[in-house]
Amino acid sequence: MQRRTVLAGLGSVAATAAQAAQKPNWMSPALPDGTRDEAILVRPPGKQSLIQLTDRPPNYETPINAFANPITANDRFFVRYHLAAVPTMEELKDWSLTVGGDAADRAVKFAMADLKKNFTQVEVTAVCQCSGNRRGLFDPHVPGVEWGYGAMGNAVWRGVRLKDLLAKAGVKSDAVEVWFAGADGPVMPATPPFRKSLPVALAQRDDVIVATSMNGQPLPHLNGFPARLVVPGWTGTYWMKHLTSIEVSTKPMTNFWVQKAYRVPAGMFPVDLPFASQNDSATWPITEMVVNSLIAAPLDGAKVGRSGFTVRGVAWDRGHGIKTVEVSFDGGKTWKPAELGRDLGNYAFRSFSLASGALPPGPCVVSARAVSNKGETQAVALVRNPAGYHHNVPQTLTVTVA
Ligand SMILES: Nc1nc2c(c(=O)[nH]1)N[C@H]1C(S)=C(S)[C@@H](COP(=O)(O)O)O[C@H]1N2
Ligand SMILES: [Mo]
């Protein structure tokens, strides 16, 4: 009996090692073993291959090589849900959006046709990144969805200004926050529905929009069809999908998602617009992203020729724009400035590239680091926080020159 247990144990260890060895390099080797073993490439409806981290609720990340393009294709864009009851396309057919609240003069209701006909259509190119992107690389590991590098994407969002919608309802002078709800919900009634809020000053910013289109197409089902909030510079948690209700409020929102989740130690990360109504002495809500970069090519473990290779990737921050990206081909001993690609706006991915030139045979450790126009740099050492947010330590990968 005991012997059999031991054998079974050994068998599973052997299987795991073999599986790990086979894992393609679209997953970082730094991810926890369990995550690497369970993650599979799937094609959710309307999507190309994505890495499935959980199925219910749907949590799918974008493979690294998709970031060789600074615009993330709709069918490669990552998917993140907290709760499993995602409305079907059929259920979203008679969608409408209400705007009201105790700090609004009146309640108004919009159909899709109203949004398209009666409002100025505006566009913003912006990165949507989950707060927990790269959480799986935290050492020691922290609980949560163990994302690798791909819980993010950059798209051209088109829709109407949030402030124009708010103006139709009328914003009273005692408004503190704007509250948002979407059409998805919990499977069990005891689970609190996912709701988020924004400071009223941010909700009035010109580039905060209710998007109905993404890269020239209607929003994909799993990215918030038919309308979602876009909050350039702020992490994805505020980008409410399947948006159905907006309330202008005299009070700070109170629920699990704002008071317990999505918080970081007070003052740990720089912000331009404090979310004062949600700050307490110990913790602040996570809001603005941190400067970061990702190498999309070559992939970790690739074999390259002695004539060298070109590093390609993207860099982004919280809206100041990218000043420089430097690349190292010697494990961080020396750095060279990369060439920056087209400027798609301060909230967008900035592509970069740099050719290595001829290289001696053997391992070559590649890394990249970005600096924002505000002078902010990527973390030299991991900035630990309990929920595993804002990982922006420069990525390193090893290629073999032969
Ligand atoms: N309705 C709804 N909106 C939501 C969420 C959700 O669970 N439900 N998750 C948020 C989080 S945490 C992130 S990171 C982004 C992810 O957007 P995506 O699924 O389009 O990539 O959606 C945000 N909006
Ligand atoms: Mo997120």
Residue 163, pLDDT above cutoff 60: yes
Give the closest ligand to the alpha carbon of residue 157: 1
Question: Please, are residues 396 and 363 in contact by the beta-carbon 8 Å criterion?
Answer: no
Q: How confident is the model at residue 19 (pLDDT cuts 50, 70, 90)?
A: very low
Q: Using CA atoms in the order 150, 155, 159, 165, what is the torsion angle rounded to 10 degrees?
A: 40
Surrounding ion ligand 2 within 5 Å at CB are 80, 130, 236-237
Q: How confident is the model at residue 344 (pLDDT cuts 50, 70, 90)?
A: very high
**If DSSP codes are grouped into helix, strand and coil, which group holds residue 175?**
coil
Name the residue at shortest CA distance from atom 16 of ligand 1: 80
Atom of ligand 1 nearest to the CA of 80: 19
Q: Could you tell which of 74, 78, 81, 258 is best to mutate to test the pocket of ligand 1, judged by most ligand atoms within 8 Å of the CB?
A: 81
Around ligand 1, the residues with Cβ closer than 6 Å are: 77-82, 128, 130, 182, 184, 194, 223-224, 236-237, 239-242
Residue intervals of the chain classified under CATH 3.90.420.10 are 96-127+152-285
pLDDT > 90 in the chain, percent: 87
In eight-state DSSP terms, residue 239 is S
Give the closest ligand to the alpha carbon of residue 82: 1
Residue 182, pLDDT above cutoff 90: yes
Residue 223, pLDDT above cutoff 90: yes
Alpha carbon distance 69, 154 (integer Å): 9
Name the residue at shortest CA distance from atom 2 of ligand 1: 241
Return the pLDDT at 34.
75
CA nearest 360: which of 391, 315, 330, 316? 330
Residue 27, pLDDT above cutoff 80: no
Round the average pLDDT of the chain to a whole number and report it: 92
Return the pLDDT at 197.
98
Q: How confident is the model at residue 39 (pLDDT cuts 50, 70, 90)?
A: confident
pTM confidence score? 0.93
Residue 34: which H helix or E strand, with range?
Answer: helix 33-38
Reported CATH class of domain 292-401 = mainly beta
Residue intervals of the chain classified under CATH 2.60.40.650 are 292-401
Specify the CATH superfamily of domain 96-127+152-285.
Oxidoreductase, molybdopterin-binding domain (3.90.420.10)
Residue 130, pLDDT above cutoff 60: yes
Give the closest ligand to the alpha carbon of residue 77: 1
Residue 3, pLDDT above cutoff 60: no
Return the pLDDT at 189.
81
Return the pLDDT at 255.
95
pLDDT tens for residues 54-81? Answer: 999 999 999 999 999 999 999 999 999 9
